[in-house]
Amino acid sequence: MDEKSLDEIIAQYASPSGRILGILREIQIQERHVPMDTLKLLSEKIEIPLSQLYSLVTFYSFFSLQRVGEHLITVCMGTPCHVKGAVKNLKVLQECLGISGESQDGKYLQTTPDNKFTVEIARCFGACSMAPVLQVDGDLYGYVIPEKIPEILEKYGWKR
């Protein structure tokens, strides 16, 4: 993000209440992630330690330090979803989208080369009764079985 755009965002959030999260949220939306160099620049401009900003970005799942694709798929790996088949769902998603990788320390984030889809994992959306659950761009899908995955992806422009 260039300095002028960042200044414009900062100017929108003059009030101290919710200022930092508001600015970070705006950066996330515009850039589809929070670039590290933008975070450093923001730290200097609003005089908040970089470590504090970094903690916020890594704490809230809404933020990402890596660029995310046009559609964000979040697979719940909380215990009820895990037990009811979330691992298999993730595997089928990876196969359909041609991405790979293992989760590390409970974190996983992979984006397709065309930047269309990003797959991440999370811990519990509070919808355990519908396990296994996943979200696409905030749309919640419950009782997901592997056979349903292509049908869900097609709603977001994926082609078999």
Binding mask 64-93 for ligand FES (x = CB under 6 A): ------------x-x-xx------------
Q: With CB under 6 A, what is the number of residues at the site for ligand FES?
A: 10
Q: Which long-range contacts (CB under 8 A, 24 or more apart) does 50-58 make?
A: 53/20, 53/24, 56/20, 56/21, 56/24, 57/24
Contact between 134 and ligand FES by CB under 6 A: the answer reads no
Q: Which stretch binds ligand FES (CB under 6 A): 15-23, 31-39, 40-48, 128-136?
A: 128-136
Distance between CA 22 and CA 116 in Å, rounded? 26
Contact between 136 and ligand FES by CB under 6 A: the answer reads no
Closest CA to 132 of 94, 52, 93, 76: 76
Which is closer to ligand FES, CB of 73 or CB of 76? 76
Contact between 144 and ligand FES by CB under 6 A: the answer reads no
* Longest alpha-carbon distance in the chain: 51
Q: Residue from 1, 128, 156, 158 that binds ligand FES (CB under 6 A)?
A: 128
Measured from the CB of residue 89, what is the shortest distance to ligand FES in angstroms? Answer: 11
Contact between 124 and ligand FES by CB under 6 A: the answer reads yes
> C-alpha dihedral over 105, 66, 34, 24, to 10 degrees?
-50
Q: Which residues, in sequence order, are bridge partners of residue 110?
A: 119
Contact between 27 and ligand FES by CB under 6 A: the answer reads no
Are 106 and 123 contacting, i.e. CB atoms less than 8 angstroms apart?
A: yes
Query: Angle 78-140-124 (CA atoms, 0-180°, nearest 5)?
Result: 15
List contacts with ligand FES (CB under 6 A).
76, 78, 80-81, 124-125, 127-128, 131, 133
